[in-house]
Chain A
Amino acid sequence: MPFCQSLRVPCETKFFLLHSDAWAARLMKLIILDRDGVINEDSDAYIKSPDEWKPLSGSLEAIARLNRAGYRVVVATNQSGIGRGLLNLETLNRIHSKMQRMVQEAGGLIDAVFFCPDTDEANPYRKPHPGMLLEIGRRLHCDLRGVPVVGDSVRDIRAARAANAWPLLVRTGKGRRTLEQETEISAHVLVFDNLAAVASYLIKPAMAT
């Protein structure tokens, strides 16, 4: 099982019972973000402390804009650093508290953070497996079809595809490397400069004002 932090109560369950149409699920407007390389600067040496967690420019504001446009923002991140013993759960909590505090200072809110501490590549909850995303869909009572999943690596794209969600690639973090090395897979995914560009593409101009 992936761990989940600060998940709010799923709402609007009744609404979905009324609208069985798969596309109606989009009305709920959920967006799932990878963490490292999408929200904050990535590091090959893992993010092991709150101090090492530095937001990418514009990403916090982008989350706030998405919130204002009606999106619920959920983070789904592999955190094998825990399994490797590089950091413990308490530290991870402190990192995420910092992330949440900074997002809130920018006027936004992250609804939940899902993470998979396991190092085993076969773990169905570890991206590129879709388990973590599917779990989000289950917990939020939300059909993942058409739900944007933003990531910077092939793992994110594969997981999103396997979960029948909508993968989006950003050039931040490992994004550029992914584009260069994984031409086959990145040819069939929309690519954006950063999370801010993703938000602009998703949000109607009228809604931004």
Chain B
Amino acid sequence: MVDSVRRDLLIEIGTEELPPKALSTLAAAFEQGIRTGLEKAGFTDLALRRFATPRRLAVLVAQLPLRQVDRQIERRGPALSAAFGPEGQPTKAAEGFARSCGVTVADLQQQETDKGVWLVQVSTEPGAATADLIPGIVDVALAELPIPKRMRWGDSDAEFVRPVHWVVLLFGDEVIPATLMGVAAGRETRGHRFHRPEPIRLTAPADYAQQLATEGWVIADFAERRAKIRAQAETLATQLQGLAVIKPDLLDEVTALVEWPVALAGDFEPRFLAVPAEALISTMQDHQRYFPVVDQQGRLLPHFITITNLDSRDPAQVRAGNERVIRPRFSDAEFFWNQDRRQPLAARREALKQVVFQQRLGTMADKSVRVAALARIIAEQSQGHAAWAERAAQLAKCDLLTQMVQEFPELQGIMGRYTAQHDGEAPEVALALEEQYLPRFAGDRLPQTATGRILALAERLDTLLGIFAIGQAPSGAKDPFALRRAALGVLRLMIEGQLPLDVLALLECAAGSFDPVLCADQAIDTVFNFVMERSRSYYADQGVRPDVFEAVLECRPTRPLDFDRRVRAVAAFRELPEAASLAAANKRIRNIRKKVETALPSAVQAALLTEEAEQALAGRLAELTADVVPLLDAGQYATALQQLARLRAPVDAFFEQVLVMAEDPALRANRLALLDELGSLFLRVADFSRLQD
């Protein structure tokens, strides 16, 4: 049903080629800007659709009313009690308010609220014609696009991400007269730069995409173009008996580069397959924006798929052109690979002395020595392979000096692994060279090998301590050494890697390797707290309640794996019916304990237990202590807490029936000692007084 007071609206900004990586963001922001503008103007139930190609941003608004709705405007004046005198005469306040509204007091109305009755002036503001509002809304939307750097062109004052060449503002079948970005709005769009350079006269906003597709050689819809590219690439790969490797962000980028996608396959010489696949893939994806092709087992095939922006009359030539471009790049990679392999990784250790890690922290060679010492210690403490860990640490940074990594920095670690394998290093050492960089981001996978985990840990602990020691701890958003990520990595490696290591003790070991001038040992506590503080977000992300985390943190466990077991145990304990009562008891114990300044007797004396309830509690506590202490020593906190939950009844009875602060100082001290014993047992796991209801 077409409403005669509604029409479709098309807004199109035609530009020079937009930055491909920003296109999706710009298009979404533009649609949102238009939506916000229209909503502010009082339009509701909007149906918007956005279009984005390298040369245009467009938004289609379906069935927009021709006019804004009239608006009721209410202005509130004085309270009724202050508005009229005893005889019902308007006061000065009332008259003043009426005057400011341009009416008399008699025209004002009364409004009742729960705070009393007020004078109000109600007026109607007639809605404006939509067509008059649109240019302003588009202007604001364009001005608010997230563009880091705007440019100017010609002699115009307009500024945009790229020069603007045409603007379409079509409302129904009429053009909205306006000048945007220095360009007069019209109804003519442009088609494909080569296939259809002449202007295209748009007939109706709703036919925009259709008309561009049939007359203009342009698929305006981003998602549609993206799907088409994927389908074409997959079809071509199937014809090559393979699978196309389509990284989502590369697909987005390619989609943002073409208006009329046509996929073409090309080949390269199979001899290049001897080069590590990652180097070839990196060249294809990052440098050439090609989709690599693999076989069913994931092995690279000597083909690639490229997406062109036009339907070539001579595809063979386009294909040959692309093959000509990729060949020298692959030849470079092959040359680097052959050159790099001649020198064993271990032989590059000497050259690491020429590479500065951080001015005050020395060279990469210095760092390797420190990390190797620490890796050895970690391996010894974690049933790891010390010789392998040490070797991996010595070789860890050597691949940075290979020509391959200097040409393709994203291959760091990967080239380390390949070269180490070629050098005949222990397979686990070779793998560790790649895995040292894991986890690269939150949620990334952890190293699979023990040596990889050990190296990753040693590397991060060394960086954390070193950078803190020279006073470059992260502040605010500034974290140039990615220390927060490193700290979270340390936690994950220890917790999820099941390494029962002591962070504090390892930092102390690490500190010994630094130049004494740096006083690295003074940074140990800060780094330790920094690392443990990261676990707050680690547990928050896992849905652990903050009070559970705080309760454990209060005990300052220095082994993250131990910390983790406590957190899990306390979280489980919290769900028990006994939890609330025992947490309250711990709170009372803590409060009582704070008030007592005198020293407590070291042990409870049975002879001084006079009341039945305290005898019962002491008896139960003694029994449980015998059971629970070995569990606590073994780190079996969950089981220990299940046992301790049985104390609920005697504890409740104690607090109900026994006066702790007894007159007799001996009795009092004895009771305090009993409570202290009880509290200490719980404190072996966490500070339960911190649990919230």
Interface residues of A (CB under 8 A from B): 23, 26, 145-146, 157, 166-168, 187-190, 200-202, 204-206
From A145, A188, A205, B422 is in contact (CB under 8 Å) with A188
Q: How far does the alpha carbon of A164 sit from the alpha carbon of B252 in the complex, in Å?
A: 39
Q: Is B431 within 8 A of A204, CB to CB? A: no
CB–CB B427/A187 < 8 A:
no
B174 at the A interface (CB under 8 A): no
Residues 376 to 396 of chain B near chain A (Cβ within 8 Å):
380, 383-387
Q: Is the CB of A205 within 8 A of B380?
A: yes
- Given A187-B344, A188-B344, A205 and B424 touching (CB < 8 A)? no
Q: How far is the CA of A45 from the CA of B347 in the complex (A)?
A: 37
Cα A200 to Cα B386 in complex, Å, equals 11
A49 CA to B449 CA, complexed, in Å: 45
- Name A23's contact: one of B384, B426, B448 (CB within 8 Å): B448
Give A190 to B347 CA distance when docked, in angstroms.
13
Q: Smallest CB–CB gap between B338 and chain A, Å?
A: 13
Chain A residues within an 8 Å CB radius of B386: 204-205
Are B424 and A190 in touch, CB under 8 angstroms?
yes
Residues of B within 8 A of A187 (CB): 344, 347, 423
Taking CB as reference atom, which chain B residue is nearest A188? B423
Q: Which 7 pairs, one residue from A and one from B, show the smallest C-beta to C-beta distance? A: A146-B427, A189-B424, A204-B385, A188-B423, A206-B383, A190-B424, A188-B424
Assess whether A167 is in contact with B427, with CB atoms less than 8 Å apart: no
Contact indicator per residue, chain B 398-432, by CB within 8 Å of chain A (1) or not (0) = 00000000000000000000000011111110010
Residue among B384, B387, B424, B431 making CB contact with A201, cutoff 8 Å:
B387
- Chain B residues with CB under 8 A of A200: 387
Other A-B pairs beyond A188-B344, A204-B384, 9, CB < 8 Å: A23-B448, A23-B449, A166-B427, A188-B341, A188-B423, A188-B424, A190-B426, A202-B426, A204-B386
Contacts of B380 in A (CB 8 A): 205-206
Digit string of B332-346 for contact with A (CB within 8 Å is 1, else 0)?
000000000100100
Distance between A100 CB and nearest chain B CB, rounded to angstroms = 28
Q: How far is the CB of B504 from chain A (nearest CB, A)?
A: 23
Which residue of chain B is the closest to A185 with respect to CB atoms? Answer: B424
Once bound together, how far apart are the Cα atoms of A201 and B384, in whole Å? 12
Do A145 and B427 touch (CB < 8 A)? yes
Question: Interface on B for A, CB 8 Å cutoff?
Answer: 341, 344, 347, 380, 383-387, 422-428, 431, 448-449
A-B contact pairs, 26 of them (CB 8 A): A23-B431, A23-B448, A26-B428, A145-B427, A166-B426, A166-B427, A167-B424, A168-B424, A187-B344, A187-B347, A187-B423, A188-B341, A188-B344, A188-B422, A188-B423, A189-B423, A190-B424, A190-B425, A190-B426, A201-B387, A201-B426, A204-B383, A204-B384, A204-B385, A204-B386, A205-B386
Shortest distance in angstroms between A187's beta carbon and chain B's nearest beta carbon?
6
**Main secondary structure on A side of the interface with B:** mixed
Q: A26 to B386, alpha carbons, bound, how many Å?
A: 18
Complex CA gap A13/B384 in Å reads 27
Q: Are B424 and A166 in contact (CB under 8 A)?
A: yes
* Residue of B whose beta carbon sits closest to that of A201: B387
**Best-buried of B385, B386, B428, B431 by chain A (most CB within 10 Å):** B385
Chain A residue numbers with a CB within 8 Å of B425 are 190
Report the bound CA distance from A187 to B344 in whole Å: 7
Q: How far is the CA of A168 from the CA of B428 in the complex (A)?
A: 14
Nearest-neighbour CB distance to chain B for A162, whole angstroms, equals 14
Report the separation of the CA atoms of residues A187 and B423 in the bound assembly, to the nearest whole angstrom: 7
Q: How far, in Å, is A170 (CB) from chain B's closest CB?
A: 13
> B424: which A residues are within 8 A, CB to CB?
157, 166-168, 188-190
Q: How far is the CA of A202 from the CA of B427 in the complex (A)?
A: 11
Query: With A and B bound together, what is the CA distance between A187 and B342 in angstroms?
Result: 9
Is the beta-carbon distance between A23 and B385 smaller than 8 angstroms? no
CA distance A146 to B380 in the complex (A): 23
A202–B391 CA distance with the chains assembled, in angstroms: 12
From known contacts A204-B384, A205-B380, infer whether A23 and B427 are also in contact, taking CB-CB under 8 Å: yes
Closest to B384 in A: A204
Which residues on the B side are within 8 Å of A202 (C-beta)?
426
Partner of B427, one of A26, A188, A205: A26
- Chain A residue at minimum C-beta to C-beta distance from B387: A201
Q: How far is the CA of A135 from the CA of B523 in the complex (A)?
A: 57
Contacts of B448 in A (CB 8 A): 23
Closest CB in chain A relative to B572 CB, distance in Å: 31
**B348 CB, min distance to chain A CBs, angstroms:** 13
B contact residues around A145 at 8 Å (CB): 427
Q: Give the residue name and chain of the A residue nearest to B450 (CB).
A: A204
Closest to B385 in A: A204
B383 — nearest CB in chain A belongs to which residue?
Answer: A206
Q: Which of B383, B387, B427 has the most CB of A within 10 A?
A: B427
- CB contacts (< 8 Å) of B422 on chain A: these are 188
Smallest distance from the beta carbon of A168 to chain B beta carbons, Å? 7
Residue of B at shortest CB range from A161?
B424
- CB-nearest residue of chain B to A157: B424
Q: Which residues of B contact A188 (CB under 8 A)?
A: 341, 344, 422-424
Cα separation A167 to B426 with both chains bound (whole Å): 9
Which residue on chain A has the smallest CB distance to residue B389?
A: A204
Q: How far is the CB of A152 from chain B (nearest CB, A)?
A: 15
Looking across the interface, which residue of chain B has its beta carbon closest to that of A160? B424
Within the complex, the shortest CB–CB distance from A150 to chain B, in Å, comes to 12
**Distance in Å from the Cβ of A179 to the closest Cβ of chain B?**
13
- Closest A residue to B382 by beta carbon equals A206
Chain A contacts for B431, CB-based, 8 A: 23
Candidate in A189, A200, A202, A206 with the most chain B CB atoms within 10 angstroms: A206
What A residues does B347 contact at CB under 8 A?
187
- What separation, in Å, do the CA atoms of A137 and B103 have in the docked complex? 101
Task: Quote the shortest CB–CB distance from A115 to chain B (angstroms).
Answer: 25
Please, how many angstroms separate the alpha-carbon atoms of A201 and B347 in the complex?
20
**Residues in B neighbouring A190, C-beta threshold 8 A:** 423-426
**Across the interface, which residues of A come within 8 angstroms of B385, CB to CB?**
204
In angstroms, Cα B273 to Cα A94, docked, is 49
How many angstroms between the C-alpha atoms of A201 and B451 in the bound complex?
14
Question: Which residues of A sit under 8 angstroms from B344, Cβ to Cβ?
Answer: 187-188
Identify the closest chain B residue to A200 (Cβ).
Answer: B387
A5 CB to nearest chain B CB (Å)? 29
Q: Shortest CB–CB separation between residue A113 and chain B, in angstroms?
A: 25
Closest to B343 in A: A187
CA distance A190 to B424 in the complex (A): 6
Closest to B419 in A: A188
Separation of A91 and B341 alpha carbons in the complex (Å): 45
Interchain nearest-CB distance for B375 vs A (Å)? 14
A146–B430 Cα distance when bound, in Å, is 10
Q: Separation in Å of the A140 CB from the closest CB of chain B? A: 18
Q: Give every chain A residue within 8 A of B387 (Cβ-Cβ).
A: 200-201
Q: Which partner residue on chain A sits nearest B421 by CB separation?
A: A166
- Chain B residue numbers with a CB within 8 Å of A157 are 424
